[in-house]
Amino acid sequence: MEPPEKPRGSPFDINGPDFNPDLYLQKLFKECSLKHIMDCESEVVKDCQLLNSDMQTLVYENYNKFILATDTIKKMKTDFKKMEDEMEMLIQNMNSITSFSEMITSTLQGTHGQISKLSGVHALLKKLQFLFKLPGKLKLLLQEEDYEQAVQEFVKTQPILDYYGDLDSFQGIQKDCNDILQKLKTKLRDQLKNKDTSAKKLIKCIDLLLQLQEPSDQLCSEYLTFVDSRLAEQLSSMQITHSGQDAAEFMDSGANVFLTDLCLIVTSYTDMFLNRTNSLEDSEAVGKLNSFVIRNMNSYLEIVQLKLEGTSEEDTAVLVSALDRLYCRLQAFNSLFTHVDFTVKGMELIISAAHRQCRNHLVSLKSHFADSLARVKQSLAAPKYTSSHTEGSVYTSNKSLDLSSNSALSTELLTSLVLASVEKVKGILQDLLLFLQPELTFISKYNFKEAFCIDGVREGLVVSFLHHVTATVQASAHKVPLQLLLLLSKMCLEYESNSVRYLLNVTDEWFSININASRAEQELLSSEAEICTGMKTAAQYLMNQYVFAAGSALSVMVKKSVDTRDWFHCAEPRTVRAAMKRVIEDITTIDCQVGALFEEGTRTGGSSDSSRRVSAQQSARSYQHHSRWGTSAASQVSNVSLPAAAINKIFSQNIDIFAPIQFSRISILTGIINITLKALLECVRLKTFNKYGLQQVQVDTHYLKIYLWRFVADETVIRNLLDEVVRSVTNRCIDGDKQLMEHGILEIICEKG
């Protein structure tokens, strides 16, 4: 059979469940040939036969199984019957057990209550026995010094004791306990008072006492007094062990011992006394602690301060590191103890130490300055000796030598004075920069930087030093030799023009001081102009002193020369008096000294051609002006008509002979010469002259006229002064004719001189 492929479930599938035989047959008849149908029929028959035989085998098999099962069930039925009998027996036994147990229970009921009561009594007795043993135990522990255990035992039993305290039998125990406890407490207290107790042991003691319900406020006071004494000891030992220790070591040891202890005390105190009782007591305890800590810290800081003050630390680095350590410790301590900020105090300490360092440096600067002054004084004294030797005799030949060495010496000394000081200041500033190292802890505080840089370094050191310089030189003006006066004046000028600005700039730069800061800060800073003015004033003062002193020295000579002569009995003049030559010589020397340090300066008046005696070094200066006053003045005087003299005087008086001195060679020399000539005038007014006395004065003044003009700014001033001398002498001349000398003879005599 070849059934065509049909869809599933089709009625034409002979094996399918939807198979419809009629439809199948119809289809078969329609589609297939007879032969084909015949084949199909035989095939179907064959299949049917095959299927029948299969069915038969299946039935047989199942039948066998069923028979087996029936046999098994039969066997089971008999087994169950046996089991039922055994079950019944079990029930019977159980019933008898129940009845027995009920019997036992009922018999035991009476004794059970007694037993439980007895066991309760037993436990109580055990406890009570402990109580009875307690005094002994405590005593034992006391002997063994195991206080901690003792306290634990006691604390455990204390509630019980309290509970039974009113019973007679226990009162004894309680009393014993209390006695022992009292002993314990006294022992603990003794430990508290004993100075050798270590801090840890101490804390334990306190803890125990606290557990024993001792009043905490009393305890904390006791504790504080105890540690106070210990700290005091440490402090005093710190005070003693000063010598041989540098500041950093001192800080270290102090911090290690003292501050660590203090920290420990604060922590343990907080643990023990704070946060346990009520807030009122708490605050009381805190107050005690605070006052304690503040007191001790204050005395510590005081000692530190004393130490810092007592030892002038040469090495800034050591000092700085010491201060840094101190500050670190204080900061650390601050985090522990927040009530009072000790860093503020520490900062003050540091600032004051820094300031002290500045002051020390200032002192050393001052002494350095004094030393260099003394040195300069010495080196000035030495060549002066030789120059006084050369005076007079071989005047011109030695002069130039002396002069060059003189000027070299002066400038050299000047530089040594100025530069040495400036360098020294710079060195010190460098040293002080150590305070500003960025890794230092205290540097970050703004107020330190300000206080240190501005108050300490700039004002306290640099500005103070500059002020000191001006003050010193002014104060010493009376005691120093003339040449040094001149030198110092120049030094002040030098400072004014260069060094002050330089030093201030360096300071401002290194210590980052902002010049253009706010107005308030500006007021703190001394301005450069202010200091320069001071320097200038000092220079002017010294210069005035110099001019006055030099003039006075010459005046003394002039005065002596006038006083020692009998002008009333004078002989006819033949030469210029030696004193006048001496005056010229001295003025020339002064001129050299001044010229070595100061600029030429400018002239105001005319010059003269009557002065042909221009020495070698004088010719270097170029004068183009010419006048003829030398001759005209002389002829005027020889006419000696009083009105003419008066008129002359009216014009001459307009010039101030004591004009302020400027810092130029000309101005300085003018000042000196004016003072000298004025002295001459005063001296001659006190004398009475004869004719020849008058003529001698005439010779002298003419000589001075010839030589002095080249030193001065305005020669009319000296001309007027000298004319006034001659006029005064004319007035003081007793001879009726008051005859003056011929100008020609004057010239000749002066030429000779």
Partner 1 sequence: MKEDIAIYGLEYKARTLSALTADTDSVGFLIGTQSLVMSNNQVHIVQLNEETNDMSAKIYQHDAGEIWSLISSPYDASLLVTCYNSVVTSPELQCTMGSSLWRLPNDDGTSESLLPLEKVCDFDFLSHGPEVKVTAFHPTDQTKLASVVENKILLWDLGKNSAKLTSETVMEGKGQPKFYSGKFNPQQSGSQFATLNETFVRGWDLRAQSSQVWVIQEAHSQFVRDLDFNPNRQHFLGTCGDDGKSKFWDMRNLTKPVITRSDHAHWVWSLRYNHYHDQLIATSSSDMKVILTCLSSISSESSYNQADDILDEDVENMGDLDVKNSNKPSESIKSDKNVDDVIATFEEHEDSVYCVEWSSADPWIVASLSYDGRLLINHVPKAEKYKIIL
Among 732, 739, 742, 747, binds partner 1 (CB under 8 A): 732
Per the CB < 8 A criterion, the answer to whether 722 and 677 are in contact is yes
Indicate whether 687 belongs to the interface with partner 1 (CB under 8 A): no
User: Restricting to residues 642-681, which ones interact with partner 1 according to CB under 8 A?
Assistant: 653, 658, 660, 675, 678-679, 681
User: Which of 745, 719, 717, 694 shows the shortest CA–CA distance to 611?
Assistant: 719
Among 449, 565, 581, 685, binds partner 1 (CB under 8 A): 685
Please work out, in degrees rounded to the nearest 5, the angle formed at the alpha carbon of residue 454 by the alpha carbons of 448 and 458.
135
Cα 174 to Cα 217: distance, rounded to the nearest angstrom: 26
Minimum CB distance to partner 1, residue 453 (Å): 30
Structure token digits, residue 153 = 């035992």
Of 171-179, 629-637, 682-690, 702-710, the segment contacting partner 1 by CB under 8 A is: 682-690
Cα 738 to Cα 726: distance, rounded to the nearest angstrom: 11
Of 66-74, 234-242, 243-251, 685-693, the segment contacting partner 1 by CB under 8 A is: 685-693
Of 345-353, 593-601, 621-629, 729-737, the segment contacting partner 1 by CB under 8 A is: 729-737
Residues 6+ apart with CB under 8 A from 555: 675, 676, 678, 679
Minimum CB distance to partner 1, residue 524 (Å): 21
Residues 6+ apart with CB under 8 A from 679: 551, 554, 555, 558, 559
Among 735, 745, 748, 751, binds partner 1 (CB under 8 A): 735
Of 371-379, 396-404, 553-561, 627-635, the segment contacting partner 1 by CB under 8 A is: 553-561
Per the CB < 8 A criterion, the answer to whether 11 and 20 are in contact is yes
Of 41-49, 571-579, 591-599, 732-740, the segment contacting partner 1 by CB under 8 A is: 732-740
Cα 513 to Cα 505: distance, rounded to the nearest angstrom: 9
Per the CB < 8 A criterion, the answer to whether 598 and 666 are in contact is no
Of 456 and 671, which has the nearer Cβ to partner 1? Answer: 671
User: Which of 499, 428, 423, 437 shows the shortest CA–CA distance to 457?
Assistant: 428
Of 172 and 481, which has the nearer Cβ to partner 1? Answer: 481
Indicate whether 690 belongs to the interface with partner 1 (CB under 8 A): yes
Minimum CB distance to partner 1, residue 474 (Å): 6
User: Which of 362, 260, 369, 352 shows the shortest CA–CA distance to 307?
Assistant: 352
Helix (H, G, I), strand (E, B) or coil at 739: coil
The residue assigned the tokens 């600067």 is 365
Indicate whether 631 belongs to the interface with partner 1 (CB under 8 A): no
Helix (H, G, I), strand (E, B) or coil at 135: helix
Indicate whether 477 belongs to the interface with partner 1 (CB under 8 A): yes
Indicate whether 82 belongs to the interface with partner 1 (CB under 8 A): no
Of 406 and 728, which has the nearer Cβ to partner 1? Answer: 728
Phi, psi of 542, deg, nearest 5: -65, -40
Of 403 and 480, which has the nearer Cβ to partner 1? Answer: 480
Indicate whether 731 belongs to the interface with partner 1 (CB under 8 A): yes
Indicate whether 739 belongs to the interface with partner 1 (CB under 8 A): no
Among 250, 435, 546, 548, binds partner 1 (CB under 8 A): 548
Phi, psi of 358, deg, nearest 5: -60, -45
Indicate whether 472 belongs to the interface with partner 1 (CB under 8 A): no
Residues 6+ apart with CB under 8 A from 151: 184, 208, 211, 212
Indicate whether 688 belongs to the interface with partner 1 (CB under 8 A): yes
The residues that touch partner 1, with contacts defined as CB under 8 A, are: 474-475, 477-478, 537, 540-541, 544, 548, 552, 555-556, 559, 568, 653, 658, 660, 675, 678-679, 681-682, 685, 688, 690, 731-735
